[in-house]
Amino acid sequence: MSKKLIIGMFGFGVVGQGLYDIIKTKNLNLEIKKFVIKNANKQRSLPADLFTTDAEVILNDPEINTVVELIDDADAAFQITKRALESGKNVVSANKKMIATHLEELADIQQNHGTSLLYEGAVCGSIPIIRNLEEYYDNELLHSVSGIFNGSSNYILSKVFNENQNYDEALKKAQELGFAETDPTLDVGGYDPKYKLAIVASHAYGIYVNPDSILNLGIDKLGVQDIRFAREKDFKIKLIPLAKEIENNRVVLYVLPKFITKDNILSNVENENNGVLVKAAFADEQFFYGKGAGGHPTGSAVLSDITALRYDYRYEYKKHLNAGQVQYTTDYELKVYLRYADEALLDQISFNSISERFYGEDFKYVIGHIKLQEIIDKRNIIHQDGNFLAEIL
């Protein structure tokens, strides 16, 4: 017999509304008692007495046993989540930045207070990758987890390569459709997939990595020359995060644009869809595909977590129990394409080797092998206007 959940929800935006739309079609053993929102004057589709701007109404209500956190502010989300867990309330969150930044502390709070924090909706929309890493792959040796974790940047790249739109046109369309924000840096700069990658790595390898230490370069410097290069070589460009175990129990993590061949399974993930590719020692290669953006896809993942709480489900963080020897590293060599504007740039960057140089009328590039740490150290000069770096797979 499942227990009844009395829910207090923070936020009633795209995901919150999408979640409510799904809940009202189901006969579930739960009740949403109160919503906390920022703007009390905004027109709502539900009765006004369900809404408040006072967080304490939910946090201090002993009848509310479940908090659903769906706000954008990562710092405020952390304070809400921490207080709720410490007061004995379970929490479901979709805030990837908050979770990635504070995951170790939040895991300890759950352990100390016997509460549960679930966050499937924070990673790849409707794709149940966290639950699969926790349950299906709990005793598996994972070689790598990679994929397309950000629907906004993938939508833009799809329009560029499939419909010959330029980057600015595709970005504007993504903003009009609500896939990208007015300030799209979080998506096109690779920050959003970086936060998701940190969460995935925790469940895949049992490590806590501060997302600030993970390299992320996005597609915001993508130029017509890079698109032309990709087409000439029969490549597509995708923004791909990677978690990969290498020799000596070390794990490498980074987010980079990548030139991939058209027979790569990720090349067929288009528009706002996401795809997660898991390579394992025993299960071999498996692929998860689904909607990565939108209120209903993310709302469905949030609802899955909510309903799991009716049966007292918790992440067990099993990989962390045996992860004493696993270490995060940036000592890893990549093959990259670097389009650059200033010839002096190459004097400031240490390539291990360069296999190709090109000097054209409108652009220059090199292809070579370079250490991940070197890219991190020289990130600011590499990512200046006129430059674009991508890995070649």
Q: Which residues are catalytic?
A: 196
Q: Phi and psi (nearest 5°) for 24? A: -70, -15
Report the alpha-carbon distance of residue 360 to residue 323 in Å, rounded.
Answer: 49
Question: What amino acid occupies position 332?
Answer: Y
Token pair, residue 153, equals 């940047």
Residues in the chain: 393
Does residue 151 contact residue 273 with C-beta atoms inside 8 Å? yes
Element containing residue 194 per DSSP (H, E): helix 191-205
Q: State the first-to-last Cα distance of the chain, in angstroms, to the nearest integer.
A: 50
Which of 6, 65, 71, 5 lies closest to 33, judged by CA? 6
- Rounded (10°) angle between helices 167-176 and 151-163: 130
Structural contact between residues 254 and 214, judged by C-beta atoms closer than 8 angstroms? yes
CA within 13 Å, CB half, 220: 17
Helix, strand, coil distribution of the chain in percent, nearest 5: 40, 25, 35
CB 74 within 8 A of CB 67: no
Instruction: Compute how many other C-beta atoms are within 10 angstroms of the C-beta atom of residue 41.
Output: 4
Contact 379, 217 (CB under 8 A): yes
Are 100 and 196 within 8 A, CB to CB?
yes
Q: Which two tokens stand for residue 347?
A: 């004097």
- Residue ranges of E strands in 262-371: 273-280, 284-291, 327-329, 333-340, 353-359, 364-371
Phi–psi pair at 129, nearest 5 degrees: -75, -35
Give the type of residue at 210: N
Give the integer Cα–Cα distance in Å for 353 and 367: 9
